[in-house]
Amino acid sequence: MTKFDSLLEAEYVQTQSQRNLSVARLLYLANCCFILGFVAWDVAIDRNQALFTLLVRGIAAAFSFGVFCLSFIVNLKNYTYLFSYISALASHLAQSIVLISLEQGLVYGTTALTFFPLVLVALAPTSRSTLSVGALGFFLIPNLVMAIAKTDRFLWLNANVFLVATCLLFYILGMMTDRGRRQTFLLEKTLEQQATQDGLTGVANRRFFLELGSREFQRAQRYHKHLSLLLIDIDHFKRINDNYGHPIGDKAIIALTELICRVVRHTDIVGRIGGEEFAVLLTETDRTGAECVAERIRTAVTEMRLTMGGITIVFTVSIGGATLTADYKDMQHLIKTADDALYQAKGAGRNRVVIAKNGYD
């Protein structure tokens, strides 16, 4: 599994854990209602054992309700499926004891054993092994109870045929549910990436960069923080495409992106806002800091050598920048100032940095 896959898996598990917590709470209450809802059925089947089965049902319902209350006190996000499984397993055990205790209980009520495993499918299983252990638990508990009670061999055989079918169905539905949710999650992430990331470089696209930039602009204005913007443009990029072809031009853009991301901090925002034009929003950075970062990028680009197919590519960049002051009305105003500075850098011969002289300093 790649690093990206691992991060995606962790995000999926976290997302499902948050969703499952509310579903699990409904499951705990459903357990209580289901277990207690058949008290009248116990009386109708075997009045003599109804008091004992009521006690068993009461204990199981109290356990499930206790887990329900616990979910509001303790952070169970990472253990939601485990607690839900334990709750369902306890209810499954109680139901098995009830069916064995009642006269002809197994004949009339074996189908009740399907409720707990099949309702549990509503939660996203964490893995195939989780499903396997879950199915095994739902199969073994009734058999253990029947073995202790020395159940008639014919009833035992019939119950096991039913249990095998139920556990197999639980396993298959669990796999299908988890697979469907994973596909939906991956589709949502793909659409999100397409909407926010540049397809070639992986950094923020123009629309998403402007969205993030507007948020940072408002935050910096509200709390009187420094904020600087750099616009970076590859000099004579058309020549690279014309002389070496667009695939080489794409590799140059990717190499520049990787270089920028290495130079700036992880808190800064990098975006591709044009064909060969990039924008970098430097948080908590004044004019002096912005100029320092811009020079580091410019110098690193001039020293960079791209060798592809026996061809060595060398190129430079021009950088324009601006630093936030109280005079700026919005993000577009800051971009306009940085763009003017970039135009000056290009007009002065390219391969240079021009930062507008309007910072806090």
Instruction: Just list the catalytic residues.
Output: 276
**How far is CA 36 from each of CA 20, 33, 56, 116, 315, rounded to the nearest angstrom?**
24, 5, 10, 14, 76
C-alpha separations of 96 from 60, 111, 112, 136, 279 in Å: 11, 11, 9, 15, 65
Q: Are 132 and 83 in contact (CB under 8 A)?
A: no
Give CA 10 to chain center in angstroms.
Answer: 7
Return the structure tokens found at 257.
Answer: 């992106």
Q: How far apart are CA 116 and CA 317, in angstroms?
A: 64
Residue for token pair 């950088």: 319
Sign of CA dihedral 263, 296, 282, 289: positive
> CA gyration radius for the chain?
32
- Beta strand 311-313 with 317-323: parallel, antiparallel or unpaired? unpaired
CB 323 within 8 A of CB 226: yes
Contacts of 229 (CB under 8 A, 6+ apart): 213, 279, 280, 281, 282, 290, 321, 322, 323, 334, 335, 338
Tell which residue, 173, 68, 75, has the closest CA to residue 124.
173
Helix (H, G, I), strand (E, B) or coil at 127: coil
Which amino acid makes up residue 141?
Answer: I
Of 209, 256, 251, the residue nearest 235 (C-alpha): 256
